[in-house]
Amino acid sequence: MVEVLADIIDVLADPIDGTDLAFGDSDCSTLKSASGHSYDIARQGYVTLAGGAGLRYTGDDAKMITAREEFLSGGHYAPFVEAVTGNVQDVLDDAGVAEDASPVICEVGAGTGYYLAHTLDGVANSRGVGLDVSVPAAKHLAKSHPRVGAVVADAWARLPLRDNSIDAITVVFAPRNAEEFARVLKPGGQVVVLTATTGHLGELREPLGIIDVERGKVERMIAQAEGHLVPVGDPELVEFGMNLNQQAIATQIGMSPSARHIHPEVLQERIAALPTEMHVTARAYVTRLGRPCD
């Protein structure tokens, strides 16, 4: 696992001052920056790269990560995964990344690494940085793919990545920091964002008492990126049906913020009152964003 961090050390930077990071000792248990800050590598293979004040967020807890792992392993979101990977391949083609290059793909808010692992499988010789503020997520990330280096970091802080170092960034239902993305992308690099849209999981909203995705979410995301990133082409709608049994529905809700807002017993009762299998719609937009000057 430390070997994977060695593969991406050339893109990692000190979260405090942006200086380069290198292995700090012969047994490879720390990363040390050119300015002297030291960061321990956990025995599970991830490294926490946070500034002096530490992490302001904890991200998804272990229960949510386990639910995410179980739901995604059912393959229900395969069309989303394909869409993200396909867009990353297009980004690299458009940027003219050579066949024999080793492009770096960073997923921000990478969760269990399910999407990033699939994308790395779709791009020969690629290297992955899985970044998440959640420690339980990082433990999964470190095991998710032989080419994923797992980093605990806050997407809203200075990213622990060097300027102009990343070929493509993916963000799947996770926070977006346009200013930092613009800083770390290589010229020609782009961000691929998957954003849930109104009607996503629509059939479950009323019976389970979960709120719908607000209208205009993609437009707001594009407006927030203004000054740093601009859309490349039109957002692409990815919509498909899933047949979910009650266990799959329970894990779907368990991995989402709704899990925090409804009492577990109430949620269990509502799920038990559903048909044994339901047809549920998945809807999200894939948007590509690039630097205005590229």
Ligand X SMILES: C[S@@+](CC[C@H](N)C(=O)[O-])C[C@H]1O[C@@H](n2cnc3c(N)ncnc32)[C@H](O)[C@@H]1O
Q: Count residues near ligand X (CB under 6 A).
A: 21
Cα–Cα distance list, 162 to 19, 186, 206, 209 (Å)? 8, 10, 45, 43
Separation CA 280–CA 213 (nearest Å): 15
Q: How far is the CB of 141 from ligand X (least distance, A)?
A: 9
Considering the rule CB under 6 A, would residue 173 count as an interface residue with ligand X? yes
Binding residues: 37, 77, 112-113, 200
Considering the rule CB under 6 A, would residue 114 count as an interface residue with ligand X? yes
DSSP state of 270: H
Answer for which of 174, 250, 253, 259 binds ligand X (CB under 6 A) is 174
Separation CA 2–CA 284 (nearest Å): 35
Answer for which of 110, 135, 150, 151 binds ligand X (CB under 6 A) is 110
Considering the rule CB under 6 A, would residue 137 count as an interface residue with ligand X? yes
- Smaller CB separation from ligand X, 31 or 50: 50
- Smaller CB separation from ligand X, 115 or 285: 115
Q: And the tokens for 74?
A: 């059912």
Answer for which of 175, 241, 264, 292 binds ligand X (CB under 6 A) is 175
Separation CA 132–CA 41 (nearest Å): 15
Residue among 4, 31, 2 at smallest CA distance from 15: 31
Q: Can you list the alpha helix ranges (DSSP code H) found in 145-287?
A: 178-184, 202-208, 217-225, 246-254, 258-261, 264-272
Answer for which of 49, 172, 191, 222 binds ligand X (CB under 6 A) is 172
Answer for which of 15, 45, 103, 109 binds ligand X (CB under 6 A) is 109
Footprint of ligand X on 42-71 (CB under 6 A): 57, 59-60, 68
Options 23-31, 41-49, 111-119, 181-189: segment touching ligand X (CB under 6 A): 111-119
Name residue 13's beta-bridge partners.
20
CB 12 within 8 A of CB 49: yes
**Site residues for ligand X per CB under 6 A:** 57, 59-60, 68, 109-112, 114-115, 132-134, 137, 154-156, 172-175
